[in-house]
Amino acid sequence: MQVELIKKVVFYLFLVLSAIVILVIATGGIFFLYAYFKTSDLPNIKKLSDLKLNRSSYIYSKDEKIAGRFFYENRDPVKFKDIPPLVKNAILATEDERFFYSFYHFGIDPISIVRAFVHNTLARRTVSGASTITQQLTRQLYENEVPEFRNREVRYKRKWKEARLAVQLEKHYSKEEIFEAYVNYVYLGHGRFGVVEAGRYYFSRELKDLTIPEAAILAALIKSPARFSPINQEKAAIERRNRVLMLMAENKFITKEEYEQLKLERISLNVSKTEPSFAYAKDFVRRVLLEKGYDSEKIWHRGGLKVKTTIDSRIQKIATEVLKEHLAKLNSDWKNDKEKLEGAVVVIENFSGKIAAVVGGHDFAETKYNRAVQQSAIRQPGSAFKIFTYATALKEGWKFNDKICDCPIHLPDTKSFHGQVLKWWSPKNYREKSHPDFMGLIDTSDGFILSRNVATIFLASRIGIKKVIETAHEMGIKSKLDPYLPTAIGASSVGLLELTAAFSVFPNQGSYYEPVIVYEIADSEGKILYQKEPAAKNVLSPEVAEDMTVLMRAVTEIGTAKLTFKGIEQKVAGKTGTTNESRDVLFFGFTPGAGGYTIGVRLGYDMPKSIGARQTGGLLAAPICRRIVEEIYKDNPKASFSPAVEEKVQKLINPNAS
């Protein structure tokens, strides 16, 4: 009797279950036909083909490492064929295991829907979801176009439209196209979109190099990047990762033995951080891109640019740290709490014009003002400008031992309409204990080495200030130079970058290379959009360049920078600069040869005022140059100036030696 009863119960249960299955299939079929053909109330289904993902533009250093990014959304899209199976399987196991089985899955997954319905009914609350990868993608793609997607309360209306859109997406696009869009669109926390940038950020790895646990972390983050962040929520992240690993084992993507072993591992992060020393260089790159017509849409939104720069990451770091430490010490010693002394450094490779480093202040996080390159940052160069006066004199045939007058002179400063002098100008020398106010008749070489203002004005009056300005322009100075004698000693404002490039003419044996920081720009597909090759222009004879190098070597041996460079192994040639009332102090130096560098340093307050009594370029700016040179050459062979240069330098040091 009981057996008969059991048979009847089983039979009726079978009928009920069969009816349910038939009903589900019928309902699914009706839904599929409705969703497949009814599209009038849906947004444009062609959206995926028109999809322009916001992507990052990348800046590469000289050694082709990623040194910075420009982005609205930090994303680097990946093609489906380039997604490693490991990453693909981790996502499928977690989010949509039947995604690639078209018979069971046509945008929605009926099996998952039934399973979720049973689980949620038994639990009397939502414990299981049934959204497919396609449904999740529709939610992200159409969030701004479908009101139900923004209102999280209208759950069933939202799910209805989401499912219909998913069917339409799968009608128009292949599984591969949908999966590719999904892994590129998804947000994975800490400002990273898509699996490529997430892998780089959390693990400092490319997608192909990720391990199984690392791929599981990326899949784990999809559900909730904040709740399962391996950086801020390690315990929750491990639990979620292990859940992913278990699902991978259940789907036979990994073995049970691998799961048992891997679930015990701690999360090993290697969070990628942008090198802070590159910040001012990145700012300069941005300015260059804008000048070349790359607007914010091309750089930040559509992005995808690959920008190759000349920046040497090692030298950039050296220059940044040296400047920061030097300024911190000076501001601390002088107790500058309200207004701090600021500075800038530019380093250029000889014989190429390639900018190896550019630093526009003590800390970009505190001050975005780029004193190295911004137009508003050009200042008077002081005595550093004298290189143009003396180079012009040498071009005109003057010799080191030709005499110039370092004595009181009075020059007309202002004239009336009738030619009558209303005001006279009397240039003065920087007062030093080691030298008198005026030295009388001196050698031309001494006028430069000892940086005598009055003697330089005398020389400029003899050769003509217009010729001095012509030389400066030929050597790359683009700033406007006033055609009067004070310009000969640095009265006209000049930018740090252009002046550093002009100094590089001397180690380049008279050739000028336009300074360049961006040498190649390519689009996201690798198509070259811009290329810049070093181009030399001869502006001085090799003989004049050599003689100026001799004078600047003497500056670091017996001149205004001798104390700073005393005992340095890597020899440097250079020139100091100090403006009126020591408002700005400068130093420009270079090391010899094609492997050498030209370095420009400027210090001063942003609101011009005196740095302090008796503060000079040799005392404050030159030590920065020395430290940079020492760090650059610390583990490298030292370079030597030519024997001809050193022989002439020794004659200047010991003029009476036979």
123-175 pLDDT tens trace? 555 545 558 888 888 888 877 776 666 665 546 677 777 788 888 888 888 89
Identify the bridge partners of residue 604 per DSSP, sorted by sequence position: 342, 584
Q: Could you read off the pLDDT of 217-268 as tens digits, one per residue?
A: 999 999 999 999 999 999 999 999 999 999 999 999 999 999 999 999 999 8
Compute φ and ψ for 451, nearest 5 degrees.
Answer: 55, 55
**pLDDT (0 to 100) of residue 639:** 92
* Residue carrying structure tokens 């970009």: 364
Contact 497, 373 (CB under 8 A): yes
Q: How far is CA 601 from CA 57, 107, 289, 413, in A?
A: 30, 63, 25, 31
For residue 612, give both structure tokens: 């302090």
Q: Tell me: domain 320-408+440-653, CATH 3.40.710.10, correct?
A: yes
Considering the entire predicted model, what is its pTM?
0.84
**pLDDT (0 to 100) of residue 127:** 45
**pLDDT (0 to 100) of residue 351:** 95
Identify the bridge partners of residue 574 per DSSP, sorted by sequence position: 589
Question: Measuring CA to CA, which residue among 355, 284, 280 is closest to residue 324?
Answer: 280
**pLDDT (0 to 100) of residue 635:** 85
The DSSP 8-state label assigned to residue 506 in this structure reads: T
* Residue carrying structure tokens 């198509």: 527
* Torsion angle of C-alpha atoms 603, 607, 609, 614, degrees rounded to 10: -10
How far, in whole angstroms, is CA 201 from its chain's centroid? 16
More confident residue, 44 or 509: 509
What's the alpha-carbon Rg for the chain, to the nearest Å?
36
Least confidently predicted of 9-13, 306-310, 631-635: 9-13
How far, in whole angstroms, is CA 82 from its chain's centroid? 27
Cα(97)–Cα(105) distance, rounded to whole angstroms? 10
Q: Confidence band (pLDDT; 50, 70, 90) for 25? A: low
Mean pLDDT, to the nearest integer, of 72-82? 91
Q: Residues 596, 597, 601, CA angle at the centre, nearest 5°? A: 155
Q: What is the SS3 assignment for 375? A: helix
Cα(550)–Cα(532) distance, rounded to whole angstroms? 32
Return all residues near 396 (Cβ < 8 A) that are at least 6 apart.
Answer: 463, 467
For residue 272, give both structure tokens: 């990628």
Q: How far is CA 239 from CA 217, 224, 229, 516, in A?
A: 10, 13, 11, 51
Q: Confidence band (pLDDT; 50, 70, 90) for 18? A: low
For residue 226, give both structure tokens: 């904040």
Q: How far is CA 393 from CA 498, 547, 608, in A?
A: 21, 11, 32
Element (H, E) at 605: none
In the chain, domain spans: 1-37, 43-52+68-262, 320-408+440-653
Q: Confidence band (pLDDT; 50, 70, 90) for 35? A: very low
pLDDT cut 90: percent of the chain above it: 63
Compute φ and ψ for 514, nearest 5 degrees.
Answer: -65, 130
Compute φ and ψ for 559, nearest 5 degrees.
Answer: -105, -145
Q: Could you read off the pLDDT of 464-502 as tens digits, one per residue?
A: 999 999 999 999 999 999 999 999 999 999 999 999 999
Question: Measuring CA to CA, which residue among 420, 401, 505, 490 is closest to residue 451?
Answer: 490
Compute φ and ψ for 424, nearest 5 degrees.
Answer: -110, 150
Contact 622, 576 (CB under 8 A): yes
Q: Give the mean pLDDT of the chain.
A: 87
Compute φ and ψ for 145, nearest 5 degrees.
Answer: -110, -20
Question: Measuring CA to CA, which residue among 637, 618, 648, 647 is closest to residue 569?
Answer: 637
**pLDDT (0 to 100) of residue 65:** 87
Cα(58)–Cα(70) distance, rounded to whole angstroms? 7
For residue 115, give both structure tokens: 């399973």
Q: Could you read off the pLDDT of 576-630 as tens digits, one per residue?
A: 999 999 999 999 999 998 889 999 999 999 999 999 888 999 999 999 999 999 9
Q: Could you read off the pLDDT of 358-380 as tens digits, one per residue?
A: 999 999 989 999 999 999 999 99
Q: Could you read off the pLDDT of 382-425 as tens digits, one per residue?
A: 999 999 999 999 999 999 999 999 888 877 765 445 566 557 77
CATH number given to 43-52+68-262: 1.10.3810.10
Instruction: Reply yes or no on whether the pLDDT at 280 is more than 90.
Output: yes
Residue 283 CB neighbours (<10 A): 21
Cα(428)–Cα(435) distance, rounded to whole angstroms? 13
**pLDDT (0 to 100) of residue 163:** 81
Cα(249)–Cα(377) distance, rounded to whole angstroms? 62
